[in-house]
Structure 1
Amino acid sequence: MFRAIITSILLVTAVAAQATGLSPTPGKTATFKDWTVGCDNGFACQAVALMPDGPWDDGLSVVVTRAAGTQAPLTIEVAGFTAKTNRYRILIDGKVIHNGSITIGGESIRFVGAEGLKIARAMAKGTLIQLADGSGNKLGVASLSGVAAALRYLDAEQGRAGSRSAVIALGSKKVAAKMANYPVLQIRKMVPTDVLPDATSLVALSEASPCAEERFGSTQDTAYSLGESGQGPLAMVMLNCGAGAYNFSSGIYVGRRDQTGNWKFEPAKFDFGATGFSADSKIPLLVNADWDAAKQTISSYAKGRGLGDCGSSESWVWDGSSFRLTSASVMGECRGSRAWIPVWRADVKIVN
């Protein structure tokens, strides 16, 4: 269900962004049985094992990542356990395929390059991966159902299919892979001031806001300086727009103070997203929003449920007139994974 919500939001906001001429296009994700996979706009990909239905007491976190480019190594990280001895074994369908040393108390193991490729290719031929300690005690398991398809998807998205650099879709073609080309956002540095909207202005804004009916009980609105513009001081307002058990919604406005001292507010402009859980919001909404003045970024973290194993997160940088997407991650499957898949990245350069 939550995956459908995420997909709907991405599609609606992509159309809205294209309509304004600003069109970040985050990558897509796909799910194959017990694995989900996706890539960002620079063809860096990640495949994640999903937990089975039922108890997760012995469920392992297994994440496969690979950046773009012909020389990019494949990495597998296995986590979700605590080592009680200094040795481990990786088993697939009961057969030991790798073993090594680990610090007692360690909680993750990473396999990089040739080692990672060897394990990934063995995973694609199996049904269950298991981690055991040096004494043979089981530390955790993960299903491999769907991993072969997920890794083929990764090969195709990165342009490796049919070449010697592929993980699964091996072939005799010359080594080829798409190269990363992330957008670079050159942003002028913001110098905050002490000029902020007064309480009367904020009350008037809250009473006129479309989310006025969602405000109940004790509410708190916050305002932050966005520095000076040619027409007066600027400020961003996070207006309380309702809360649930684990998600707090904020309507985002930008205000300007005129020469008479009055504040005029307008919904903030975002080049992508900012819809919260509603694709038809009349104002930009962020969930569990946070502002970092030093980086000029605002972030959103919408959890699909309290466990935090599904949802979406984004961050945007303020460019003086609007908020521009710098990163986005999603996990559409509420099945125990804490590893959300990055689907967008932009490099930011702040200049004086």
Structure 2
Amino acid sequence: MFRLFAGALCLLLLPQVAWAETKSKTVRDWTGTCDDYSCKATVTGEGGLASGGTGYQLEIARASGGNETWFVTIIAHNVSQPENAVTFEVPGLLTRDTAVVSLGDDRFGLAGKEALEAIFPALRKGDNATIRYEVNDAEVEESFSLSGIAAVLLWIDDMQGQVGNSDRVAAYEDLNANVVAEDERAALKAQLLAASPFRDCQSALEGDGAIPFEPKLYDLGGGYKLYVVQCTMGAYQPSTLVFRNIGDVLDPVPFASYGDETGWGATLWLGEADYDPATKTLHHYARFRGMADCGTWSDFQWTGYDFKLLRYAYKACSDEPPGEDEDIGDFPIIYEAK
């Protein structure tokens, strides 16, 4: 049965699939982007973006569907990144500290519900916002224009049918996506052992060679739950398995994969994997060797019943690795949904 399920899902994941149309709207400094599954509003920091997207952005995102909430994220690509706390200042309205949590891929989500409930309305009313935090005893500061944010968020409300329901926010620490409670892990582990790929994992072992079994649980809605399970701990990255329930059964989820020698296919084994409930997107990253000059990353979006490929980046390894001072660069995107 699993082979039939994997084969069917593999067909859904391959690049010839037709994808939902993406719509966008820019008002002054803010840009809104929507597809069938989520919407986001983004602004670039006043320092701008350098080559490869280096710099800061502020993002406000909300999944589509009824009764959803806004999430606020700081993106810090190839620049100094926050470690645990950030100060938000909106002149004349607010100065407030908030905890942040790393979401992977240079993204940091605002945590702390009370702080976020104060910060979010100030962002909608202010002229500009400044974030500050310390890295190695040095202060980092970046400012963002708020010109256009209110209009873009109203456009998203209209696109998602959420007019009049635009004030609800969620902090990342408040999500159902959490490490499974310790007293529930034994039963879950026994259930996962019935799924053959997990039997080969270090986290399935007891004693010598075992790594901690600390799966993360995400509520996908509609009766579906997602389990992200670290399988092994390699020299420079983990391997990860992702399980989704089908009724009372947990099945491993296959994801699209690509290699120059094999072409397109599907795999159960991911490198680092993080699920973002704000956009219902799973991000995967794997390097093929320690210097990270070759590898792959990909984004998959939950559609309500499965995951679909949004974009896929890939770079094969060269027999001549880069020198110590050579710029490695980003992995090129070889497929992007239209």
TM bucket normalised to smaller? 0.3 to 0.5
Question: Normalization by structure 2: what TM-score?
Answer: 0.40
Question: Normalization by structure 1: what TM-score?
Answer: 0.38
Greater strand proportion: 2
